[in-house]
A and B are shown apart, each in its own frame.
Chain A
Amino acid sequence: MRLLRAGRWITAIALLLLAGVYVRALVYTPVERLQGLAQKIYYLHVPAAIWAETAMIIVGIASIFYLFLKDPRLDRFAHASAEVGTVFAVLMLTTGPIWGKPIWGTWWSWDARLTLALFLFLLYVGYLLLRSAVADPASRARFAAVLGICGMVLVPFVHFSVYMFRTLHPMPIVLKPSEPSLPGSMLATLLFSVSVFTLLYVGFVTQRYALSYLREQLEATAGGGDSGMGHA
């Protein structure tokens, strides 16, 4: 299938560029004065976090359109985006503690930002669990769309709660109302990494989308012959 192959190529290129991000981050970007080498994980942690949140918003937007247009492609896309978002959320939740241990002296702190990052991940898990618990494809798509839209609405609350509480987690230094307070070379590396993660997201979602399409085709043909699947 063409889409699947395209997705594989995009992912392969993105992974290659990810190696480039490492080279740039380690060799060509200055070492942060206070945190030393530990800060290098920033170039993975932040893009992963950005895409973990953005994927949820994309799920929500696809869900809104699904409820109006009832196009199964939109549902498939929302599902793909949610699964890829889960992966990025896991990446955010694993790189965070690895960074936190040397700098804060603790793997995890129950402050607002971290807790809510965990809940973003659990939101994804809930979405995927709800999908797996509904047998009928039409109701599954509608239920998932409802939850996806609610999840999208929750994300801004999650995002702005960081301003309400004093936390260990640093405040956003790029996406904030005033000028970015990051030196130019670090900002360049970060933006490079964000674009690579964007490519990764596109590659993963394309593959996942193609896979669900193939699975649906398979289920349709298996359902036509004998009702048993799982032999495939």
Chain B
Amino acid sequence: MPSSSSLRHAWAVASKDLLVEFRSRTGILSAVVFVVLVLMVFNFGRDPTAVSNLVLAPSILWVTFTFAAILALNRAFQLELENQALDGLLLAPIGRGSIYLGKLVANLVFVATVEVIGVPLVALFFNVEVWPHIGPLAAIITLATLGFVAVGTLFSAMTVRTRFAELLLPVVLLPFMILPLMWATLATTSVLADRPLSEIGGSLKMLAGYDIVFVVVSLLLFPATVNE
């Protein structure tokens, strides 16, 4: 399905979104500040003598990324609502699949930026060794993020045009995020605890399976969310 021209169109959509984001920088700045604030909330909401940082860090990492991703996804189609930009995008002579892929890439770049800033912050605030495990950790984060951003991009195209958009997206999306989050947290825990890498094989395979299935399903279903 994705020929070279549809990939080029997808890149055009993605670069448009990223350019808008880069020019204003409000979205990314608020997301990063939000991550810092969530980490601070976690710090005050725990008893440091009861649970060790190493046990807590994976959960903190993933809960923070969940909230940040939902913020990012809410904003993805919000941009298109102003001045009926979405109608313009739909009138453009490009496939619906390219629009979806473009939005997906833009969201991935956005969430990945937040995560690249978030991981060192977790390491800093909660005193866990991240650098020696950076390879496996990057693999886990990439696979998990791709899965839930794929579903989230599809859903935000729908929820943005409903009442209570900002509230409805998490309600609809979280049941889909919980599985990748569970696998990612399990894998992160065993990576940070220096356990053998073979332990995370199962989780990575499930994450990869989830990614493949949901990217394909979302690509096929996206036209139904925008066609009138």
Contacts and interface: CB of A to CB of B under 8 A. Distances in A.
Nearest to A153: B217
Contacts of A149: 217, 221
A147 B213 contact: no
Interface stretch (A21-29, A32-40, A115-123, A198-206): A115-123
B175 interface: yes
B172 A129 contact: yes
Interface string A161-176: 1001000000000000
B18 to A, nearest CB: 26
Interface in A50-91: 67
By size class, the interface of chain A is 20 to 34
B93 to A, nearest CB: 23
Contacts of A143: 158, 162, 225
A150 interface: yes
Contact of A126 (B161, B163, B175, B214): B175
B217 A164 contact: no
A142 interface: yes
A202 B57 CA distance: 48
Nearest to B206: A164
B180 to A, nearest CB: 10
Q: Which of A116, A122, A133, A135 has the most CB of B within 10 A?
A: A133
Nearest to A124: B175
Nearest to A146: B221
Contacts of B158: 130, 143, 146-147
A106 interface: no
Contacts of A116: 178-179
A134 interface: yes
Main secondary structure of the interface of B (DSSP, over half): helix
Given A142-B224, A150-B151, A133 B179 contact: no
B171 A157 contact: no
A153 B206 contact: no
Given A146-B158, A153-B214, A157-B210, A133 B164 contact: yes
B224 to A, nearest CB: 5
Interface in B203-228: 206, 210, 213-214, 217-218, 221, 224-225, 227-228
A11 B157 CA distance: 39
A197 to B, nearest CB: 24
Given A130-B158, A133-B164, A134-B161, 11 more contacts: A116-B179, A120-B175, A122-B175, A126-B175, A129-B168, A143-B225, A146-B158, A146-B224, A146-B225, A161-B206, A164-B206
Rank and list the top 3 A-B pairs by shortest CB-CB distance, nearest first: A133-B162, A126-B172, A143-B158
8 contacts: A122-B175, A126-B172, A133-B159, A133-B163, A134-B163, A149-B217, A161-B179, A161-B182
